[in-house]
Structure 1
Amino acid sequence: MDLHSARPSSAVYLDEQFETLPLPDVRALQDGLWTRQWDYIRSMSAFYHSKLAKWIDHEVTLDSLAELPFTEKDELRVSQENASPYGDYAACGEASVSRLHKTSGTTGSPLILGNSARDSQWVARAGARSMWAAGLRPTDRVVHCLNYCMWTGGFTDHTILEAAGATVIPFGVGNTRLLIDSILRLGINAISCTPSYPGLIEQVLRELDGVGPRDLKLTLGLFGGEAGLDNPDLRASMEEKWGFKVRNANFGLSEILSILGGQTDWTNDLLFHASDVVFAEVIDPATLQRLPIIEGTVGELVCTHLRKECQPLVRYRTRDVVTVTGTDPGPDGRTAWRFRVTGRTDDMFNVRGVNVFPSAVRVAVESLPHLSSGMFRIMLKGDGPYDRIAMTVEAAEGMSADRWPDAAAEIEAAIRARVGSTAIVTMVPFEHFPRTEGKTRWIERNPK
């Protein structure tokens, strides 16, 4: 499997044979992969040999997979506590582990992640499809500004950028002034980072006389790690300010696949690029029943590995809520089904009987860039349910304090219209909230 074979920069696809495969043929491919993977898991994974004892002697198909129980992240944490460091769900020996990472710990204590050499190849291959679809080419110089300290977003995504053929500058996080100098001196034209990071770069640029975002001459922004980039208002605002094309090219989960999906130039939706590596289900979070992957379906994404050697997972609950937006081929011929991430079940909170996702609140705030910088915090006191959404919103740059009451009222109305819940907004000055190279936390919880 040659991940680095030359592709002409003008080519539409990185992996044409798969990317244009009709969905019925994709499913036939998945069926064959799963037959081999099921034999591997039930013979090599002590965790699943015990957890799935009722089914272990049966030929489970992708259709009957829906009868099996889910795998939860807390189960993996317990497994690793009892069988450090990889957990007893690991299905290969130490000699086959070529790389070790850990999760970011955003939703709890970090998991230790192991990959075989072949696992790493497939991560790079699937992710490179996403980067190529987003517009990255071998003629690009891309600076990678995610944390290289064990998180998969650092080194693993670096290998993905290389697999797309680009020249990669492994910058990491910190020393933003040096980053700016490097972009200017090295002729870097693309950046890979979180959507929040350009805000920090802007903050540093304001300290430099006469240098603005467009002066960096970046033409492509490849973003991931946070929700919100399917918001056309945010995307348009960033493109206007920076002059680069904005792509959410990096949707994934470290324990499943670093990159599962990303945007391309003809849609704000995400294309699921990894169907030959991961089998996806969408379930109703309330009934836990499998839903059809057809346009309009809304539910939680559940993933099963089709090729994973080191730590294969079966029916893993991602907690990401997705809306399926299309299954027909796109205008470029790609057949990947399309979706949007509309929230997380573990971030959801209830306001007077209405389930609220922070990502929906974010869309409302970011739709009013003349009133707010887009930075905010939702303040949750106790376990809920809550009477209203109490939140602090940062004012737009240059807005005087005497305009804050009207701005707060307009933002409250936008949230009520989009979310269906009452919000109480307190305005704070521009740059009140710290900018970060990493993921931004939108909720602050007070257990009392």
Structure 2
Amino acid sequence: MLYHRADFADLSELAAHRQRLWETQRAYVLARSDLHRRAWGSHRPPERLEALPDLPLVDKEMLRTSQRDHPPFGDYLAAKPGEISRVHRTSGTTGTAMNLVLSAQDAHETAVVGGRAQAASGLGPGHRVVHCLNYRMWMGGLTDHMTLEATGAAVVPFGVGDTRLLIRTIQELGITAISCTPSYPAVLERVIEEEFPGLKPRDLGLRLGLFGGEAGLDNADFRRRMEETWGFKVRNANYGVTDVFCNFAGQTDESNDLHFVALDVLHPELIDPETARVLPWQEGERGELVLTHMRRHCQPLVRFRTGDIIELTGTGRAPCGRTAPRFRVVGRADDMVVIRGINAFPTQVAATINQFENLSGEYRIVLPGPGPYDVLPVEAELATGTATDEGLASAVESRLKRDIGITARVTIVPFNTLPRTEGKTRRIIREDKS
């Protein structure tokens, strides 16, 4: 069961609650999940949570194989078919799309936990929030809608498409908040400029921007530019791992760190992404996030490698009063590009590009083949109304060298050259040179 206001709970009391849940969950997974029994081999799930590192890890490729060999939901479906309440599908951004199922219990707990993250970011009763994610099977549509409702806010289920109608809807209904990907406001800005003469984004009266699904919001320059353009508070309110929990972390007014608000039902670990060695769960540590459901009915996961590289920024009580651990997302292990032995992530490239006022902030990395790479090829887009500066590419290259330590080859392209999307924007394109 969920722990009331778990993100504010005394950690010693929460530890006892977590242990009780795990004792039930371990037996359930052992009895019901063929995938886990196969992955564990001779291992048996330990009775104590702190002994979880004794178990082998589970990764996304194992889930894909499971669903391919045991369609449609894989042999880690632990619930009976009649207990399935909702079916979703992942976006497939990083590979084959996955089928996800929730029981009524799973759906309720997902909404409550996600609601904690949205509430931490400032959403609540009195707000009218328009939700602009794809409702067509994607978990981020309906499920995130339910997390928004869990805060007590009034939710407008708009979805994606027909941006002109969205702008009119915001005006007509007095919308105060928007839920979407961080790249979507750029789409709105273009339509406003082209279709609504004299209207500025901040004229719409939005007070809160709730974002998720893409990296980049930890960058202060990107946030500042969006806040100046729109006049709303920018919040990363929707961090999650779709196979595990749609949303379990959000930012607050006091900090740009993400607060891990699901500690009552979700157990986190850190590992070295290359060696899988367990790292200490302590402030300042950086590694790949590994997650375990301590309570999940349909598709429980134990020691699942998320592929997200995070840095723990706090484990005590935060200024907002929450005891939830704080972290920042550095990047994805599968998005990491090695340039002459230096690890680089798209988020680092974005942080540098957003320092330039004459760039729009849109960028793309086009990698020729599988590597190794001596140079990072970057396409960066001019800001609207900005003329080409012959020295701009060299300036960006120098800044990337200073900030990240890599050699880059930067190509400046005109405004509105790079694609804007209503869903997740791809920042790394890997060309097949085979």
What TM-score range do you get, normalising by the shorter chain? over 0.9
Q: How far apart, in 1, do the equivalents of 2:406 and 2:332 lie?
A: 18
Q: What residue number does 1:279 align with?
A: 267
Does 1:85 find its partner at 2:77?
Answer: no
Write out per-residue CA displacement over residues 43-95 of structure 1, whole angstroms, 9 at most, x where no aligned residue: 11122223223123x64422221011111111111111111111110101111
Q: What residue number does 1:442 align with?
A: 427
Structure 2 residue aligned with 1:129, among 76, 92, 116?
A: 116
Deviation at 1:16, TM superposition (A): 6.4
Distance in 2 (CA, whole Å) between partners of 1:191 and 1:64 is 42
Shift of the alpha carbon at 1:356? 1.1
* 1:51 corresponds to: 39
Residue 335 in structure 1 maps to residue 323 in structure 2: yes
1:162 pairs, out of 129, 145, 149, with 149
Give how far 1:22 is off: 2.4
Q: Secondary structure at the match of 2:126?
A: coil
CA contact (8 A) 1:360 1:419 kept: yes
2:242 aligned with 1:268: no
The 5 A counterparts of 1:70-219 are: 70-207=57-194, 208-219=196-207
Aligned CA RMSD, in angstroms, stands at 1.3
Aligned partner of 1:36 among 1, 15, 24: 24
Distance 1:301 1:267 in 2: 21
2:48 is aligned with 1:61? yes
Report the Cα distance in structure 2 between the residues aligned to 1:168 and 1:17, rounded to whole angstroms.
22
Deviation at 1:25, TM superposition (A): 2.7
Question: Which residue identity does 1:111 align to in structure 2?
Answer: M
Give the whole-Å Cα distance in 2 for the aligned partners of 1:17 and 1:377: 40
Deviating more after overlay: 195-204 vs 18-27: 18-27
Q: Give the counterpart letter for 2:125 in structure 1.
A: P
SS of the residue corresponding to residue 412 of structure 1 reads helix
Rounded Cα–Cα distance in structure 2 between residues aligned with 1:79 and 1:285: 23
Kept in 2, the 8 Å contact 1:232–1:268? The answer is no
Whole-angstrom CA distance in 2 between matches of 1:22 and 1:195: 33
Q: Which amino acid aligns with 1:206?
A: E
Indicate the residue corresponding to 1:425 in structure 2.
410
Mapped partners of 1:221, 1:27: distance in 2: 34
My pick for the range that moved more, 215-224 or 46-55, is 46-55
Letter in 2 for 1:62: L
The aligned amino acid for 1:362 is A
Contact 2:7 2:263 in 1 (8 A): no
Tell me, in whole angstroms, the C-alpha distance in 1 between the residues paired with 2:304 and 2:259. Answer: 20
1:10 corresponds in structure 2 to none
Q: Which runs of 5+ in 1 are unaligned?
A: 4-14
% of aligned pairs identical?
A: 50
- SS for the counterpart of 1:149 is coil
> Could you give the per-residue CA deviations for residues 322-341 of structure 1, whole angstroms, max 9, x where no partner exists?
00011121112110110000
TM-superposed deviation, 1:406:
1.6
The offset of 1:287, in angstroms, is 2.4
The residue number in structure 1 matching 2:381 is: 394
> How many residues align structurally?
432
Secondary structure in 1 matching 2:309: strand
Tell me the distance in 1 between the aligned counterparts of 2:126 and 2:208: 12
Where 2:120 maps in the other structure, the secondary structure is helix
Q: d(CA) in 2 for partners of 1:440 and 1:60? A: 42
* Rounded Cα–Cα distance in structure 1 between residues aligned with 2:135 and 2:4: 31
Partners of 1:435 and 1:336 in 2: how far apart? Answer: 34
Q: For 2:411, what is the secondary structure of its paired residue?
A: strand
Residues 344-366 of structure 1: CA deviation (Å, up to 9, x unaligned): 11111111111111111111111
Query: Matched residues in 2 for 1:142 and 1:195: separation?
Result: 16
Whether the 8 Å contact between 1:116 and 1:309 is mirrored in structure 2 is yes
State whether residues 39 and 58 of structure 2, in contact with CA within 8 Å, keep that contact through their aligned partners in structure 1. no
Deviation at 1:286, TM superposition (A): 2.4
- Give the Cα–Cα distance (whole angstroms) in 2 for the partners of residues 396 and 222 of structure 1: 24
Code of the residue aligned with 1:197 in structure 2: it is: Y
SS at match of 1:28: helix
Secondary structure (helix, strand or coil) at the match of 1:421 reads: coil
Report the counterpart of residue 409 of structure 1 in structure 2: 394
Q: Report the secondary structure of 1:101's partner residue.
A: strand
Task: Output aligned runs, 1:251-266, within 5 Å.
Answer: 251-266=239-254
Tell me, in whole angstroms, the C-alpha distance in 1 between the residues paired with 2:34 and 2:288: 27
What is the alpha-carbon distance in structure 1 between the residues aligned to residue 88 and residue 216 of structure 2?
26
SS at match of 1:417: helix
Question: Paired residue for 1:11?
Answer: none
Task: Compute the TM-score of the two structures, normalised by the length of structure 1.
Answer: 0.94
Question: CA–CA distance in 2 between the matches of 1:68 and 1:110?
Answer: 27
Task: Name the amino acid aligned to 2:413.
Answer: V
Q: Residue 17 of structure 1: CA displacement?
A: 4.0
The whole-number CA distance in structure 2 between the counterparts of 1:32 and 1:54 is: 24
Deviations 1:133-152 (A, max 9, x none): 10001110000000001010
Deviates more, 1:120-129 or 1:278-287: 278-287
Q: 1:222 aligns with which of 178, 196, 210?
A: 210
